[in-house]
């Protein structure tokens, strides 16, 4: 799927269902001037495209388009195409997510309640499609899928989409009987967790070099920025608990031992889905290949993350996460850790490893704490 033009987006000929009603109109750009666009409908919604008609379209037209207002219908129809592999579906869903994130991070537009409301609804639809594709994926299978997807110039987009997918996998493993609405909320929180970075210069956000102390202080403000944006532009979206989204945005950098930011919350006082996001955030940052640094193999990544258990990460959730990494045998061959102020949301030229200090025992949860940690997510955890 290509970028939009004049509220239209391009689609592949091969992703149009044959001999069944398609829930969207098909358009072509009839303008002979490459600097102008003139979209003309060539096929109406709810009619069936035959294989012969599709062959004619391929010969006659360079590209087909769908109107932005029918993006949701297009995504849903795509999920029912049995001949389309999950990797292709995921790539198109990712393009859709980038489209909505781009609206939020558009520096030429003022952040408004209207933009947030429209984006929230679009992101929800995108995450619902994402859940339908990857709901049965464990972390290992999901990691392989993510490795096949292309990446965008803006690190925040790719990272947020990957975090969303890992949140879906981890929450599904932690709550195997959770209704789809809760799983979507977990994915939506992961997708929007860095929304506060809309208030920070892209020169800082995309800087893969070591940040100065002043620059990192700016980065550390993004949970507050995001929370305040959501408070000031409060809106509703059917099926979305907006209060939970605000907490994920505000708390995803809180550390389990109370040393995080911005509020130094600890343990189960940090919302369950913020703790889920923290693990997804960390894992993607050190395992997803980017142009500016090599990444760790899964085994080494889990070993590195394990040194942050009880400090940065929730012990019980991390155990569930590692269980979801199939056929993994930890040998402990890597004796490195990342500092507590490591920011998974920040691109890195070189991951800032250090030799760990002597380990300490992490106390386990009691039954009451477990119950609080895995209580209903619409209630404030703790």
Q: Could you say which of 23, 57, 84 is where a domain stops?
A: 84
Residue 378: inside a domain: no
pLDDT value for 381: 39
Number of domains in the chain: 2
pLDDT value for 366: 45
Shared-domain flag, residues 315 and 188: yes
Shared-domain flag, residues 76 and 101: no
Shared-domain flag, residues 94 and 73: no
Shared-domain flag, residues 18 and 109: no
Residue 268: inside a domain: yes
Residue 379: inside a domain: no
Residue 299: inside a domain: yes
List the structure tokens of 233: 């532009």
Residue 117: inside a domain: yes
Q: Computed over its alpha carbons, how large is the radius of gyration of the chain?
A: 22
Shared-domain flag, residues 72 and 202: no
CA nearest to 142, candidates 253, 280, 264, 305: 280
Shared-domain flag, residues 206 and 329: yes
Shared-domain flag, residues 161 and 78: no
Residue 381: inside a domain: no
Q: List, for the chain, all residue ranges whose pLDDT scores fall below the cut of 70.
A: 1-6, 290-294, 326-336, 338-382
Q: Could you say which of 84, 106, 138 is where a domain stops?
A: 84
Shared-domain flag, residues 62 and 117: no
Q: Which domain holds residue 275?
A: 86-373
Shared-domain flag, residues 181 and 41: no
Shared-domain flag, residues 59 and 91: no
Q: What is the pLDDT of residues 269-317, one digit of tens each?
A: 999 999 999 999 999 988 887 655 567 888 888 988 999 999 999 999 9
d(CA 10, CA 16): 12
For the whole model, what pTM was predicted?
A: 0.82
Say which residues have a Cβ less than 8 Å from residue 373's Cβ, sequence separation at least 6. 268, 272, 314, 316, 365, 381
Q: What is the pLDDT of residues 27-55, one digit of tens each?
A: 999 887 777 788 999 999 999 999 899 99
Shared-domain flag, residues 41 and 131: no
Say which residues have a Cβ less than 8 Å from residue 64's Cβ, sequence separation at least 6. 10, 11, 13, 16, 26, 27, 28, 42, 57
d(CA 158, CA 102): 11
d(CA 273, CA 103): 24
């Amino acid at each position: 799927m290509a970028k939009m033009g004049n509220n239209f987006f391009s689609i592949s000929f091969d992703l149009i269902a044959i001999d069944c009603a398609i829930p969207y109109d098909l358009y072509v750009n009839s303008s002979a001037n490459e600097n102008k666009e003139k979209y003309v409908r060539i096929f109406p919604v709810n009619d069936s495209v035959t294989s012969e008609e599709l062959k004619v379209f391929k010969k006659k037209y360079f590209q087909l388009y769908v109107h932005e207002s029918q993006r949701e219908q297009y995504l849903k129809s795509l999920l029912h195409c049995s001949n389309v592999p999950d990797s292709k579906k995921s790539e198109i869903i990712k393009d859709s997510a980038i489209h909505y994130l781009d609206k939020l991070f558009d520096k030429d537009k003022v952040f408004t309640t209207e933009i947030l409301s429209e984006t929230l609804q679009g992101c929800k639809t995108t995450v619902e499609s994402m859940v339908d594709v990857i709901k049965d994926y464990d972390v290992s299978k999901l990691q392989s899928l993510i490795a096949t997807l292309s990446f965008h110039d803006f690190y925040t987009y790719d990272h947020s989409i990957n975090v969303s997918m890992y949140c879906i996998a981890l929450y599904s493993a932690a709550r195997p009987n959770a209704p789809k609405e809760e799983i979507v909320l977990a994915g939506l929180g992961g997708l929007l967790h860095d929304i506060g970075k809309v208030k920070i210069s892209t020169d800082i956000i995309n800087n893969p070099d070591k940040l100065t102390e002043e620059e990192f202080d700016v980065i550390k403000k993004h949970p507050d920025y995001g929370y305040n944006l959501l408070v000031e532009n409060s809106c509703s979206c059917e099926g979305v608990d907006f209060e939970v989204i605000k907490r994920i945005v505000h708390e995803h950098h809180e550390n389990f031992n109370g040393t995080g930011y911005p509020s130094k919350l600890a343990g189960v006082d940090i919302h369950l889905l913020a703790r889920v996001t923290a693990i997804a955030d960390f894992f993607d940052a050190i395992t997803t290949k980017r142009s500016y640094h090599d990444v760790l193999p899964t085994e080494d990544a889990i070993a590195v993350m394990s040194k942050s258990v009880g400090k940065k990460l929730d012990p019980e959730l991390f155990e569930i996460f590692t269980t979801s990494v199939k056929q993994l045998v930890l040998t402990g061959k890597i004796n490195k850790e990342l500092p507590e102020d490591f920011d998974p949301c920040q691109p890195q030229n070189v991951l800032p490893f250090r030799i760990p200090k002597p380990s300490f025992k992490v106390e386990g949860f009691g039954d009451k704490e477990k119950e609080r940690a895995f209580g209903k997510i619409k209630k404030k955890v703790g």
